[in-house]
Amino acid sequence: KIPALEVHSSNTPNEEIAESSSIYLSLILPTYKERINVIGMVAILTTLLDEALPGAYEIIVVDDDSPDQTWEVALRLMTHYPALRVMRRTGIRGLASAVLRGWQAARGEVLGVIDADMQQSPEVLLQLLEKLHFGADLAVASRHIEGGGVSNWNLFRRGLSRGSQLLGLLVLPEIVGQVSDPMSGYFLVRRQAIANRRLRPCGSKILLEVLSEGDVQQIEEVGYVFHEREERQEIVLKKNIEFIKHLLRLRLRVSRLRRIWRRRKSFPTTRFMQFGVVGLTGVLLNTLLLSTFQGQLGLGVLASSLIAAELVIVGEFTWNDVWTFGDIARQQRQWNQLVKRFMKFNIVCVMGLMLRAIILALLSGGLSFNIYAANMLAISVLLLWNFWISLKLSWR
């Protein structure tokens, strides 16, 4: 079991470092078998940060006793790069715990992490720093927003990553829903946001712990292209399973209500009310269309419910796109962006209808709830589900 690790606040000196420091940024480079990449990475980061933060940054390589002696290469680099520090952990493995261990020894006001294998462009760091400079508590490099992506992402990996993200939205909507790329391992966070918080790292996705346990109010994102490298499918699968296990562990750890209560200030209430008006109008319209198709046109139950449902989805999307999320839609006017929003909204609504049917069956069938009460409850869950997922997936 990995012990809970705390990142100290800047006014209580870390056990390793007594003196106060003028370090602004502490960037962790977690390494495992990166003896070649680490050289290039440290050189590029140093050039970049010597320019952006001369004398006010440190790079901390945290190596888990790599069999290719990455730690030894990094130690030799220290003579050329005064801002470089190296930690070698023995007898323990794990990306998330390595990053946290590095943050424990860090001196900076801002703590960050970037992969050491050149798959994440270092230049994005400057944009992340800018977000922090303008007040963000957390700045995340994301593959899933404008300007983001993955080079030659095969279908298997793309499907797995999106599937894990959607599952995350189901299991931990109040956490995973805060960012578009919850699996990112490339971000900067203000030390104060996570200082003296009990972070319990597991697997490789450290961002989940920061979002779950940190006091993060303002989150900003920057799109970046993740440079895919060929990786055996079982390794990719293993990482996604690790992510899902971490989600479940977090779900059990902190009650959803406490977490939602903690984040209540940032809940978009007005948007939710507008979405509710659109949604309830949709329910009425659906009933009207159903009786028209079955009564006047003599269509069968299945055909009329499918056509009615789809017409309502199109109507709700259009109204939401103009009214509820109009400000976001106006920034994404291209046709392909509109189609993408609509397709995602369609999938969310169809999944929502299935969710509603399951809840209805459970309540009225299983728990013999009164059908109207069960329906009202199912519709409200549907509304919340559609709103939250649409906000995080369609209108981002």
Q: Note the residues at the interface with ligand GDD (CB under 6 A).
A: 30-32, 34, 62-64, 93-95, 98, 115-117, 119, 183-186, 204-205, 226, 239
Nearer to Mn ion, 117 or 174 (CB): 117
User: Please, what is the Cα angle at 188 between 183 and 190, to 5 degrees?
Assistant: 125
Nearer to ligand GDD, 209 or 213 (CB): 209
Distance from C-alpha of 61 to C-alpha of 102, rounded to nearest angstrom: 8
Q: Name which of 174, 200, 192 is nearest 262 in CA terms.
A: 174
- The H helix count followed by the E strand count for the chain is 15, 9
117 part of the interface to Mn ion, by CB under 5 A = yes
Distance from C-alpha of 205 to C-alpha of 142, rounded to nearest angstrom: 14
Using CB distances below 5 to 8 A depending on partner kind, what does residue 275 bind out of Mn ion, ligand GDD, none? none
CB of 372 to Mn ion, least distance (A): 53
CB of 78 to ligand GDD, least distance (A): 17
Distance from C-alpha of 94 to C-alpha of 92, rounded to nearest angstrom: 7
119 part of the interface to Mn ion, by CB under 5 A = yes
CB of 148 to Mn ion, least distance (A): 16
Q: At 148, list the tokens.
A: 């983001």
Nearer to ligand GDD, 30 or 352 (CB): 30
Neighbouring CB atoms inside 10 A of 49's CB total 23
**Count of residues engaged in binding Mn ion, rule: CB under 5 A:** 2
Distance from C-alpha of 275 to C-alpha of 255, rounded to nearest angstrom: 26
CB of 151 to Mn ion, least distance (A): 12
Distance from C-alpha of 210 to C-alpha of 271, rounded to nearest angstrom: 27
Burial class (CB within 10 angstroms; exposed 0-12, middle 13-18, buried 19+) of 227:
middle
Nearer to Mn ion, 104 or 119 (CB): 119
Nearer to ligand GDD, 5 or 116 (CB): 116
58 part of the interface to Mn ion, by CB under 5 A = no
Distance from C-alpha of 46 to C-alpha of 122, rounded to nearest angstrom: 10
Q: Which single residue brings its beta carbon nearest to ligand GDD?
A: 185
CB of 125 to ligand GDD, least distance (A): 13
Nearer to ligand GDD, 204 or 274 (CB): 204
CB of 214 to ligand GDD, least distance (A): 17
